[in-house]
Chains A and B, each alone.
Chain A
């Protein structure tokens, strides 16, 4: 075990912190309310070279791992940018794992350098209205035609589809009743976003409103053969490539929101005076904040372990799921405690806590729900019988 200071990690943390300092809470409140994509922030992140952090250096990327991507996202969230900041850049920082691990050389050459330069916007299109968490039950279907595939179906909760030029899209290529295993017969596509063929409808939602999330209606969308990621029929395996890492990185975003909430609440508890003394003097106020810090730090350690395992090529399902679970709970606990500390003002927009609260809540549902994390641990770690 080695917890000594890593200067590169410290420098990454500081550089992202300095960059984010130019985008204060007011910037994020404004964009959350107007539902405008935070382009200035996005461009600043591109300019400083943070996209493509995990893309191999031969394609112009940073060649780093989950550990570093996680640091970047935690810092972005902790600056007060929260999920609006993270989701704006997330796929650019980390989201191309299926292509990096399983994509053809041609796909990598065509797209990885563009990811780094920031002009390629992509959505991750897996979730469907009638399948939800039960991914293998999805019904979007890709029919083989000359030179490619014709995709039809519905997707829901697809983030950044307004900006996207491509979709990392999972579809069935063999009906579920014709495959031996239900995870077979799915194929992953790097589908061009042909807006003649894909209708995009934004979903009004509780929070993280600077970044759009949408319903997609796909009608005979053509995807050429060369835009299939990995093997036809093995899309489920291909998509698993990045899922553990994804969990760890979004866990870091949750921790970041918690840290932002805790920072504001701590300052407020020192300054706000009622009953003739700062409210932070009351243990009823101080203890939840201390507990929030402890929970965030514990989740952070779990994240670091999971990231280390992934970066060093070890299995990390147990740790990555635990990290996601702990971080989502810790982030939400901190945001909720911060709300109480702010009393009535916590309920107002002005103090930003309500925005953190709404975003922290999201992290208990997505990218995977807490329940499905528990299902994984019960079944795959404890060996309990599957309940569904």
Chain B
């Protein structure tokens, strides 16, 4: 079974993250790039499925030159090879355009499953999986916290607020995962050394079959009109207990929709 894992490089959440005031895109030079956290769970799940069913795990990244660091890490975790779509024309692409670019690139690959994180820590749109499935005309299984493959079908547990749903589809399919699904492994020493020799295919948009008119900031379907830093935290609400403290707290929680 061949699995493609979609890996995005994002600014490290441990560092201060910035937007570039010139074009409102993420300022990637301002902080270190790391693998989007949920994508590590996607990689881990793909590796586990490979260990069980055989086949190959391919990393697919659409992103700038420096994303090679994240690709190397994915290979050090144990993926077999990588495809890196890297082209200046892609700069500023939004979620839909990225999904389109990924769909086109997948057209050049053979796969039974596509696994991705359910959202990224930078943009947090959470729509790439859905848009991709639509472009590819494939079933999508979202928010998976458990995946089982049986022959030509795949069954997942789809995490919900109060439990899970069981969703089943035929292969090939697109699966997005949540962090409950597994515990990602560390790159081991041997795999770090082996990663150096694993093939990374670098593609321009032309080579990946991506139409230049459909990607990039100028052709984006969404636009960032303005942005502002999050307001500083305000002083909390103090509840004074005059016999009705419990009720006041319950009211407060209800007003915030916690209960």
The answer to whether A53 and B186 touch across the interface, beta carbons within 8 angstroms, is no
The reply on A8 being an interface residue by CB < 8 A is: yes
Residue in B69, B73, B189 whose beta carbon sits within 8 Å of that of A50 in the complex: B189
A48 to B189, CA, bound (A): 6
A18 to B196, CA, bound (A): 20
Give 8 nearest A-B pairs by CB, closest first. A49-B189, A49-B188, A15-B187, A48-B188, A11-B192, A49-B190, A19-B186, A48-B186
A303 to B171, CA, bound (A): 54
Least Cβ–Cβ distance between A61 and chain B, in angstroms = 10
The answer to whether A18 and B76 touch across the interface, beta carbons within 8 angstroms, is no
**Residues of A contacting B4 with CB < 8 Å?**
none
Count class of interface residues, chain A: 10 to 19
Would you give 25 A-B contacts (Cβ < 8 Å), ordered by A?
A: A7-B72, A7-B196, A10-B69, A11-B73, A11-B187, A11-B192, A12-B192, A14-B73, A15-B76, A15-B186, A15-B189, A18-B187, A19-B186, A47-B188, A48-B186, A48-B187, A48-B188, A49-B188, A49-B189, A49-B190, A49-B191, A50-B189, A53-B189, A62-B189, A62-B193
Residue in B73, B186, B188, B196 whose beta carbon sits within 8 Å of that of A8 in the complex: B196
The reply on B102 being an interface residue by CB < 8 A is: no
Least Cβ–Cβ distance between A99 and chain B, in angstroms = 20
Interface size on B, residues (CB 8 A): 14
**Residues of A contacting B190 with CB < 8 Å?**
49, 62
Least Cβ–Cβ distance between A8 and chain B, in angstroms = 7
The answer to whether B186 and A11 touch across the interface, beta carbons within 8 angstroms, is no
A8 to B76, CA, bound (A): 10
The reply on B208 being an interface residue by CB < 8 A is: no
The answer to whether B189 and A12 touch across the interface, beta carbons within 8 angstroms, is yes
A53 to B193, CA, bound (A): 11
Q: Interface 1/0s, chain B 177-218, versus A by CB < 8 A? A: 000000000111111110110000000000000000000000
A133 to B238, CA, bound (A): 65
Other A-B contacts than A11-B187, A15-B192, 13 sampled, CB-CB below 8 A, are: A7-B69, A7-B72, A10-B69, A11-B73, A11-B76, A12-B189, A15-B76, A18-B186, A48-B187, A49-B189, A49-B191, A53-B189, A62-B193
A19 to B77, CA, bound (A): 13
Least Cβ–Cβ distance between B11 and chain A, in angstroms = 16
The answer to whether A8 and B193 touch across the interface, beta carbons within 8 angstroms, is yes
**Residues of B contacting A49 with CB < 8 Å?**
188-191
Q: Interface 1/0s, chain B 42-82, versus A by CB < 8 A? A: 00000000000000000000000000010011001000000
State which residues 51-75 of A face B: CB under 8 Å. Answer: 53, 62
The answer to whether B195 and A11 touch across the interface, beta carbons within 8 angstroms, is yes
**Residues of B contacting A12 with CB < 8 Å?**
189, 192
A342 to B73, CA, bound (A): 37
**Residues of B contacting A53 with CB < 8 Å?**
189
A11 to B68, CA, bound (A): 12
Residue of B188, B190, B192 ringed by the most chain A CB atoms within 10 A:
B192
Least Cβ–Cβ distance between B54 and chain A, in angstroms = 23
A49 to B193, CA, bound (A): 11
**Residues of A contacting B191 with CB < 8 Å?**
49
**Residues of A contacting B189 with CB < 8 Å?**
12, 15, 48-50, 53, 62
A49 to B76, CA, bound (A): 12
A12 to B191, CA, bound (A): 10
Least Cβ–Cβ distance between B192 and chain A, in angstroms = 5
Least Cβ–Cβ distance between A74 and chain B, in angstroms = 16
Residue of B73, B187, B191, B195 ringed by the most chain A CB atoms within 10 A:
B187
Least Cβ–Cβ distance between A93 and chain B, in angstroms = 10
Residue of B76, B189, B190 ringed by the most chain A CB atoms within 10 A:
B189
State which residues 165-206 of A face B: CB under 8 Å. Answer: none
Q: Interface 1/0s, chain A 1-38, versus B by CB < 8 A? A: 00000011011101100110000000000000000000
A19 to B187, CA, bound (A): 9
A12 to B187, CA, bound (A): 9
List the B residue with the shortest CB-CB distance to A52.
Answer: B189
A27 to B72, CA, bound (A): 30
Least Cβ–Cβ distance between A156 and chain B, in angstroms = 34
The answer to whether A11 and B72 touch across the interface, beta carbons within 8 angstroms, is yes
Least Cβ–Cβ distance between B44 and chain A, in angstroms = 13
List the B residue with the shortest CB-CB distance to A63.
Answer: B193
A8 to B197, CA, bound (A): 12
A49 to B188, CA, bound (A): 6
A53 to B192, CA, bound (A): 12
Least Cβ–Cβ distance between B71 and chain A, in angstroms = 11
**Residues of A contacting B69 with CB < 8 Å?**
7, 10
**Residues of A contacting B186 with CB < 8 Å?**
15, 18-19, 48
